[in-house]
A and B are shown apart, each in its own frame.
Chain A
Amino acid sequence: AQSVTQLDSQVPVFEEAPVELRCNYSSSVSVYLFWYVQYPNQGLQLLLKYLSGSTLVESINGFEAEFNKSQTSFHLRKPSVHISDTAEYFCAVTGQNFVFGPGTRLSVLP
């Protein structure tokens, strides 16, 4: 069985500050890892994913995540956030099944 933990349900941060959204997983098989973003009243959009190769993956809007197998983590980071980054962020893993974390609400404050 697989599981995903997002320890922070809410993360408030000021504009232009750095942010890290934490994601840890457990699995008995090899996994693929994903981050999705959900803006208010919209569906989920794929932000970035790790399938293989370089453990550091980047999105087009400045987010990055690093796969750390020894720590079973896939934390999402951005060095400087914008108001428009305010959204819900979901970490997900797939191996045997596709499993989503509970989500982290990022609120960027002016």
Chain B
Amino acid sequence: SQTIHQWPATLVQPVGSPLSLECTVEGTSNPNLYWYRQAAGRGLQLLFYSVGIGQISSEVPQNLSASRPQDRQFILSSKKLLLSDSGFYLCAWSPTGASSGNTIYFGEGSWLTVV
């Protein structure tokens, strides 16, 4: 079966510091990968998605970036965090192929607090 893991689960970082959140998917190949952000009490905002290694699409211009160095690894980064970057970050994956209905499966989430 497929699993998705992201870490760290909780992170407190000062303003201006770098960020790296990692996500890996097991049990599948060539998945679509996503990073979402959920601000406190708000809905989901798609940040980045990737259909293959090195292929990243950005949905929202900001000081965050994403990379996909390996087929099942997705990394969210920032060189300098802002207070507004605080939130709950969710990595997700979906199988390729129309039969799946593009069902998205989420990781456990990472709480980022910028202080």
Quick check: A101 and B43 within 8 Å, CB to CB? Answer: yes
* Given A41-B111, A43-B90: A90 in contact with B103 (beta carbons within 8 A): no
Known contacts A32-B101, A32-B102; A103/B43 CB under 8 A: yes
Contact of A102 among B43, B101, B103, B108 (CB under 8 A): B43
- Considering only residues 43-60 of chain B, those with a C-beta below 8 Å from chain A are 43-44, 46
CA distance A51 to B107 in the complex (A): 22
Among B42, B94, B106, B111, the residue within 8 A (CB) of A44 is B106
Whole-angstrom CA separation of A15 from B79 in the bound complex: 48
Query: Which B residues have a C-beta under 8 Å from some C-beta of A?
Result: 42-44, 46, 90, 92, 94, 101-109, 111
Q: Write 29 A-B pairs (CB below 8 A) sorted by A numbering.
A: A32-B101, A32-B102, A32-B103, A34-B101, A34-B103, A34-B104, A41-B111, A42-B108, A43-B106, A43-B107, A43-B108, A43-B109, A44-B44, A44-B92, A44-B106, A46-B103, A46-B105, A49-B101, A49-B103, A51-B101, A90-B43, A92-B104, A94-B101, A94-B102, A98-B94, A98-B104, A100-B43, A102-B43, A103-B43
